[in-house]
Each structure stands twice: as C-alpha cells, then as structure tokens.
Structure 1
Amino acid sequence: MPTYSLRQHDNGTFYIHWTEGRRSKRQSTGQTEEVAAQIFLGEWLKGEAADQAGATPIYTVQDLWDDYFKRHAEKNCADTRSFNTCWNNLQPHFGALTLPELTRKGADNVDKIEEYILLREDGEIGRCPATSGTIRGELTRMLACFNWHADPKRKTISKADVPVWEMPPKSPPRDRWLRVDEIRKLMAAAADRSAQSSRMSRVERFLWLALETAARRQAILELTWGRVDFELNLIDYRVPSRAVTKKRRAVVPISTTLRPILLRAYEERQGDLVCDNQSCIWRAVKSVAKQAEVERVSPHVLRHTAATHMLRNGVPIATVAGILADTIETVERTYWHHIPSAGAGAVELLAGKLLALTPTAEPTKCPERNA
C-alpha cells in the first residue's frame, strides 16, 4: 500500500504525493488551505484511490507535454527549439497543474489561463512583455499537445477532458520588408565581413540564400551541397526521408545573381553543409544589420522581403507560392496589397462599365485646400 503525503506547491495548491512502481505520482487537491486539503485527501482515499488498479490515470500538464515532445516534436519537427522556448514560458505556470485546474476560477474569479495572459502581457513571465499574438501562439501549442493526446490513435485523455478557453486576439499582420537600398546596405556590410577572411563569411552566404530563394532559416542551415544541383541549376531544400510538415520546403531555381555566389562558396567549402554548420546564425545577422544601420531584420522579414519583391516585379502568384512552398490562397491573403494593379481591373469595371460614367466638363486643376 503506497504512503500518501500532502505537499504545498509554489502555486499555493496542496498536492497528494505517493510512489507507485518506482514512479512518483501526484494528485491536486485543488485546495490552498491545509485543513481543506486534508479533508479532500480523506475523501479521495475512500473513493478514487480505493481501487488503484482500476483508477483512471491523472496527468499533469508537464506529463502530457513531456510525452508530446518526445513522441511528436522530436520525431516530426525539423527544429524543436521553438518548442523549448515556448515551454520555458508555459512550464512554471502550468507544469504542475492538471487539466481541470486550467480553467477553474480562483477566489478572484480568474482562472489559470487568464492569469497567464495577464502575467505575460506585464512581463512577469518570460524575459519581456509579450504581444497577444505571442501569447496566443504559446497557448495554441499547449492546446495542440492536449488534442494530440486526445486523438483516437492515442487516447491518453478523452476529448471531453481537453479544456476550452478563449484565445487572445491575433496580432496585426507584420508588413516589414527590406527596400532595395536597405538590401544593398545589408549585403555591403556582409561583404565587409567576408573581406576580413580568406573565404566568404557564413552570414553572407546565409543572407544571399535567404534573399534569393525565400527559404526559411532552418531549411537554409540544413542545406547540403548534395542538394545544390549546378547542372540543373536547382536547390532542393527538401530533406530526403524526412516526413513533410506544415512548413513545407521547395525546389528553387538558382538565379543568375546567386549562381556565382554559390560557385565561390562551393570552391571554399569546408564540409557538406552550405552554411558550415547548423548553429544559431541570428546573432551574426543582427550584428551585420546593426553595422549596416538596417533595423528590424528577422527570419520573417528576409522571407517576406523576397516574396514582396517578386510580386512587386510582376512574378505570377502561382510561381511565388511554389517558391515559398505555400498555397496560392496564403500568398494572396498575405501579399495582396503588394501585387501591382491588383484591384485596377475591378475599379475600371465599376467606374467605366457598370456605372457608365462620362465626363460632363473639361477637367480642371484640383481646388486648393482651405488653410
């Protein structure tokens, strides 16, 4: 018979702790007062714990996340760093809780989800205050973990056990992209780095690939020379034998501008990876951007820049979607305002055909505005 004990956690709640088969177990009492927790323990022992063999396992968020990360993220995601960053913020607040506790109202009529949102917005969780979009992304990833466990293939928990809460609103769409003069300054600063060495710098190679192929950061860092075909003039960002995820990768033609860059990099190669290794590149990118006095440079901005310039120069949406490995609908939704004369046809139809407007007088100059 296991020995049960009550312990108060950092969140103020008392938990029942015991060991079963060399594995530590715990069950929340949902109480912050010791007397009430003792009463709960007595009832729990008489009821739910009376038949341990037939009892339904009770999982904490930490238990569910650990299993989700090991069995899903590590196997199916090319880069798990975003999972770790997300969990670093979620874990201190949610890790020890069970699913019913997430949406249970406290004395102040605020549940743990609402409390997390407020603390993240104020910067009391995480390194700095977070936007609603960032918080939404973190909570969405935690909800994905619960739904993964509730999937009929696994049935770790039932669908009815998955808590329901209102998500923070999405952040306004980001529309930062680099203009031609900013690109030139950025690449000039990167070239300066290369001039200090006997070979092209890693950061310059990365920037060329990001701006010329619109590929995502991890796809560029994982690119091997074996997938750069100089005969067919193609770069294949797809990794053989890796399962296709939502962030699909494309086969992209090598532009006439990029080709001599890649040929030089190939002659100077020091291994199988085009960018030498997969270690973090963004400190170097930010350093180059600071030297060039170009603000707000990020992975999203480089990819967004490439797509924006393609569309502004008349590249068909379907072609851009293929290079980005996105759907045509996604490209239209994200970049519609960058497509030259996107709505001109509709406006001409409305004014010239449907309303059949004709000028009634010679055009005059615009009247001056009142002071």
Structure 2
Amino acid sequence: MPRPAKGARLHKFKHRAHWYIRDTGQPDRSTGCTSRAEAEKALAAYIATRGRDGPANEPGNVTCGEVLAIYAEEYAPTVAAPERIGYAIEALLPFWSALKLSAVKGETCRRYVKWRDRSAGTTRRELGTLQAAINYAHREGYITAAPVVTLPDPPGRRERWLTRDEAARLLWAAYRGHKAKHIARFILIGLYTGTRKDAILRMGFEPNTVGGWFDLERGIMYRIGEHERQTKKRRTPAPIPRKLQAHLRRWRGEGCQWAVEYQGARIGDIKRGFAKAAQDAGLEKVSPHTLKHTAITWAMQRGVAKWEAAGFFSTSAETIEKVYGHHAPDFMESARDAMDGVSRR
C-alpha cells in the first residue's frame, strides 16, 4: 500500500548549509536560507504560490508598501508626469506602507481619509493611486487578487470664475507687486487662452525641449513640445488672440526667452505669487486654474459655439457642455419658449 503524500515540508541535508523544500512529485528546491525561521517564510511563500504558473502572491502576504514600490519603479517612469504619482505615494506610505493588501477595505480607507485630514479631492486622488498600483500588480501577476479601494465621494465641481472687474483687480495687484510682474504675464496668458498652469509655465518663444511655444510669425501657440508625451489633459495648438499677441511681441522684443520668466530664468511655479496677488486684490477661492474657468465662461457668454470652444481651449466638448454650457446666451432657450407657448418650428 503506497505511503500517503507528506506534502510540502522543509528538509536539511547533512552536508549542505541551506534548508530545502521537499514536495511530493516535485524536485527538491533550495530556500537559500540557513536559518530555520527564514526557511519557514520561504516554505509559506511556496505553499501560497504552489500550482500557479507565476510568482503571484495572496493579498495577505504582500504589503501595500511593496505594491506601491512596484508601481513607482515600473509604471511611473512611463507616464508624462511621474512626479504626480510620486506625490501621491509619498502621502500614502506613512499610513499604508506596513499594512497588508488584505487590510484594504472600506473601514481602512475611511480611516485614512480621517488621518490624512485633507480635502476630499486630495484624498480621492491619493487613494486612486493606491487602487491603480494594486490593479497594476494584479495585471502584472504579482498578486492573485486586487482588493477594491473605497474612495471618498467626489467634491462638487468648482465653477469659480472672475468677473471682468475681478480680473482687472487681480492683474493690477500682480503688476503693482515689485517682484510679481511675471505673475501679471501668467494671468494675461491664462485669461486670453484658457491654458493650464503647467503648460503656460513651460512655453517659450522658440521650439524647446521643455514645453510648447508661441509662434509669433504664424500667430499659433503650441501648448506641447515635440518631445513631450501627450496626456489626458489635452494640449492642442490654437491661434493666438490678437490682443495677447501684441503683449507677447513686446515681451519678446524686451529679450525674453520664456513667456513667464523672472530675471531671465523660466519660472517653475507661481503658487505663492499668485496667492499673494489674489489676496492683495481681495479675492477668495481663486487659484491659477480659475483663469481657465474664466476664459471659457467669458467665451460662452459671448456666444462662442461649443465645438469651437472645445478646440480652442483644448477641452472636450462634453466638458464644455456639462460645466460651462449654462453660461451660453441660448441655454435652455427652447425650454423657455415652450413654457411661454412659443413654437420654434
């Protein structure tokens, strides 16, 4: 009568330093460990992955920190803005690093939101990065299952835009500042083109390796450089508004190499300078992104067609319709006429 299979177990050969794993029907394999305690861990990992083609592990055997590290090392370098993933991981690690993936559930995610004590938008983006890292590890065969991250409810859409009086006050406050005239330039470009902050700060007056540029000869602005990766935040070319072009030509004539520069050097960020100008202008809840909202809102109020606005502002027609459509002069006009008893046939 055959002996019953003993299953996977540790074995120590007399003249060998390492512990080995023996399993019925399988060749002996070294654990690479001389310590019994370490060999036990190797045996546990073997049992957890036995019968599978790859080295995938159970969520209970992998930490969130390990999954985030894999995501940072393998995936982040392939995206256009890896620093954004880095910022999120930096925020996630103090809380999640030592926790096993099996601990990822609604209660833990809500506890993270409370511990982080930041806006819903911020924690939602960070937890979204954790989910993306988990999904990547599962897709690449590192783990056998992908736990679901519970995200906080998305914040309400911010539709803060500037009136023309507020925009004038903001510009004057920036221009009046002794060291903030570059902020005034940033504001002008934002109001005239609705271009995102990062794209504006990378734009020069000649083709470059950093970002886009203003072709003053042809009157076209290129929001993305030839060697930059295109992202979900579209940056399509568009004609330069004539009034802005006059400012750009003057700045170029003064010897500027970059659209927004200080003492000849390109500005990396305008967060503090912009906040100071907004404070001096007496404006609340205003950020650099408010300029994009303002530019699109003004265009819609002037009756620009939605598809033209989508092309010029490098924003999808769906977003134009959903976020800014109510500013159009003919918004719900047919519904109003119907209620007034007016036929539009």
TM-score of the alignment, normalized to the shorter chain, above 0.5: yes
Q: What's 2:64 paired with? A: 61
- 3-state SS of the aligned residue for 2:320? helix
Q: 5+ unaligned residues in a row in structure 2: which ranges?
A: 1-16, 20-30, 207-212
Q: Distance in 2 between matches of 1:192 and 1:147?
A: 50
1:230 to 2:216 alignment: yes
1:205 to 2:205 alignment: no
Between the two proteins, the alignment pairs up a number of residues equal to: 298
Q: Distance in 1 between matches of 2:104 and 2:171?
A: 48
**TM-score normalized with structure 1 length:** 0.71
Q: 5+ unaligned residues in a row in structure 1: which ranges?
A: 4-18, 22-39, 104-109, 124-129, 355-371
Show CA shifts across 1:243-277 (max 9, x none): 22101102122112211211121122454565342
- 3-state SS of the aligned residue for 1:310? helix
Residue 294 of structure 1: CA displacement?
Answer: 2.0
Contact 1:205 / 1:265 at 8 angstroms: preserved in 2?
no
Q: What's 1:326 paired with? A: 315
Q: Letter of the aligned partner of 1:64 in structure 2?
A: V
Q: Letter of the aligned partner of 1:286 in structure 2?
A: A
1:299 aligned to which of 288, 292, 298: 288
Contact 2:175 / 2:183 at 8 angstroms: preserved in 1?
no
Q: Distance in 2 between matches of 1:46 and 1:59?
A: 15
Q: Distance in 2 between matches of 1:224 and 1:278?
A: 11
**TM-score normalized with structure 2 length:** 0.76
After TM superposition, the structure 1 = structure 2 runs for residues 176-215 of structure 1, keeping only pairs within 5 Å, are 176-193=160-177, 196=178, 201-215=181-195
Contact 2:127 / 2:149 at 8 angstroms: preserved in 1?
no
1:139 to 2:127 alignment: yes
1:112 to 2:114 alignment: no
Q: What's 1:155 paired with? A: 141
Identity of aligned residues (%): 28
1:268–1:69: structure 2 CA closer, same or farther, 3 Å change rule? farther
1:52–1:140: structure 2 CA closer, same or farther, 3 Å change rule? closer
After TM superposition, the structure 1 = structure 2 runs for residues 220-299 of structure 1, keeping only pairs within 5 Å, are 220-226=200-206, 227-271=213-257, 274-275=260-261, 276-299=265-288
RMSD: 3.1
Contact 1:228 / 1:236 at 8 angstroms: preserved in 2?
yes
Contact 1:312 / 1:338 at 8 angstroms: preserved in 2?
yes
1:313 to 2:313 alignment: no
Q: Distance in 2 between matches of 1:150 and 1:50?
A: 19
Q: Letter of the aligned partner of 2:233 in structure 1?
A: K
Q: Letter of the aligned partner of 2:170 in structure 1?
A: L
Show CA shifts across 1:191-223 (max 9, x none): 223xx47xx932122111111111111101111
Q: Distance in 1 between matches of 2:286 and 2:91?
A: 24
Q: Distance in 1 between matches of 2:272 and 2:242?
A: 29
Q: Distance in 2 between matches of 1:90 and 1:20?
A: 33
1:149–1:239: structure 2 CA closer, same or farther, 3 Å change rule? farther
Q: Distance in 1 between matches of 2:255 and 2:32?
A: 55
